Each structure stands twice: as C-alpha cells, then as structure tokens.
C-alpha cells in the first residue's frame, strides 16, 4: 500500500506497518499480564483514539473501554498539579484494573495527575501504556508501564497526534517540518 505523503512532513518516523507490529506486541503483553483481571482501558482524549482503537482489537482478553479528557491550564502547569478533568470516565472503575492509554508522554504532567486522579477512585490498580515516550522532555516523574517507541525531542504528528488539530488521521508517525509550527 502506498503511503500518502504530505508536504508538511519532513520524514516518516514509524510506518503504519511498524506501528501495527509494535501494537500487536503491546497487546500481547497486556493480554498475558492482565489475564483473569477485570480490565478497563481508559483512553485519554483526544490523541489516543487511534492507538486505543488498534490496541483494543489486538487484545485477546475481555476489556471494557472508557475515556477521560483533561486540559492543563496556565503557565504554572509545568510545575504540576494544574490539570483539570474536562470529561470523567463514564463507567464504574472501583475495584477494577485500569490501564490509561496515551499517545505520548512528554513532560509527564498529564499522566502523573491522571494517575493520581484515578487512584483516588479506589481501583484495583492503575497502569499506563503510551505509544510514544519523549523522556528528554520529562518534568514529572511518572512510571510508564508499557511504551511503544522512545523518541527524540522532535515535533511528531499522525496516528492520533496533531498540530493545531491537523494530521491526526495520518496512518504513520511523521516529523513535522519546523517551518510549519514556526510560522
């Protein structure tokens, strides 16, 4: 299958095939590690929607699906504690094995706060899976239990990730040309 090319993308970091292969491995690990548990996959909107959709279809144990949405506010968000939940989970999470599903961990603020928020609901456990990890940008310590790919500090888009709400639909993960976001 030919890959759509976009003039704003400088290079492809992970092809659709590479992502598919890695997602299968992650789904296999989760299916083994959580066998027999009452699992809820919780997608963090909006960037995780593509990853979650592919991941859940490769998982071979029963899982429920839910979503949260949040936004960080103000410049002080980098110092932590300033995350507002704009959409809470819809279903019951108490006593269940929760897996927060993210597209990318950057500073770590979002997942650190979300994990604390979920833990306050008295689940059985809270784990984290992220397709991408950018450890060089970390400001908050957070344990990411499953990582798809560790990436350098570049502006990546596609497979759910956006720049100004564009590029989420690309089937691959690409590096955005600096002139696009430096305009």
Residues tagged active-site: 106
What is the C-alpha separation between 174 and 9, in angstroms, rounded? 6
Per-residue binding string, ligand PRP, 78-107, x by CB under 6 A, is: ------------------------xxxxxx
Does residue 47 belong to the site contacting ligand PRP (CB under 6 A)?
Answer: yes
User: For the chain, what's the residue count?
Assistant: 183
Q: Does 148 bind ligand PRP (CB under 6 A)?
A: no
Determine, following the binding rule CB under 6 A, whether residue 58 of this chain makes contact with ligand PRP.
no
28 token code pair = 């296999």
Which of 16/45 has CB closer to ligand PRP?
A: 45
Q: How many residues bind ligand PRP (CB under 6 A)?
A: 14
Distance from C-alpha of 176 to C-alpha of 180, rounded to nearest angstrom: 7
User: Minimum distance from CB of 61 to ligand PRP (Å)?
Assistant: 25
Interface with ligand PRP, residue 46, by CB under 6 A: yes
CA distance linking residue 109 with residue 5, whole number of Å: 33
- Residue 118 in the binding site for ligand PRP (CB under 6 A): no
Closest distance between ligand PRP and the C-beta of residue 82, in Å?
Answer: 11
Q: What is the 3-state secondary structure (H, E, C) of 120-155?
A: CCCCCEEEEEEEEECHHHCCCCCCCCEEEEECCCCC
**Smallest separation, CB 7 to ligand PRP (Å):** 22
Q: Which residues contact 64 (CB under 8 A, 6 or more apart)?
A: 39, 40, 41, 91, 96
Question: 59 or 105: whose CB is closer to ligand PRP?
Answer: 105
Q: Are 83 and 70 in contact (CB under 8 A)?
A: yes
Q: How far is the CB of 152 from ligand PRP (least distance, A)?
A: 16
> Which residues bind to ligand PRP, rule: CB under 6 A?
44-47, 102-110, 162
């Amino acid at each position: 299958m030919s890959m759509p090319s976009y003039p704003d993308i400088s290079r492809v970091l992970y092809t659709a095939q590479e992502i598919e292969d890695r997602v299968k491995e992650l789904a296999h690990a989760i299916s083994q590690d959580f066998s027999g548990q009452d699992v809820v996959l919780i997608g963090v909107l909006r960037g995780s929607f593509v990853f979650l959709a592919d991941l859940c279809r490769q998982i071979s144990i029963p899982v429920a699906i839910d979503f949260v949405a949040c936004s960080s506010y103000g410049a002080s968000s980098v110092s932590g504690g300033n995350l507002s939940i704009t959409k809470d989970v819809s279903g019951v999470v108490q006593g269940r094995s929760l897996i927060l599903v993210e597209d990318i961990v950057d500073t770590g603020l979002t997942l650190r706060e979300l994990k604390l928020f979920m833990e306050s609901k008295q689940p059985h456990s809270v784990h984290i899976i992220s397709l991408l990890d950018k450890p060089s940008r970390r400001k908050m310590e957070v344990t990411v239990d499953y990582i798809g790919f560790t990436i350098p500090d570049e502006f990546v888009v596609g497979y759910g990730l956006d720049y100004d709400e564009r590029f989420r639909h690309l089937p691959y993960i690409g590096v955005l040309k600096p002139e696009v976001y430096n305009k």
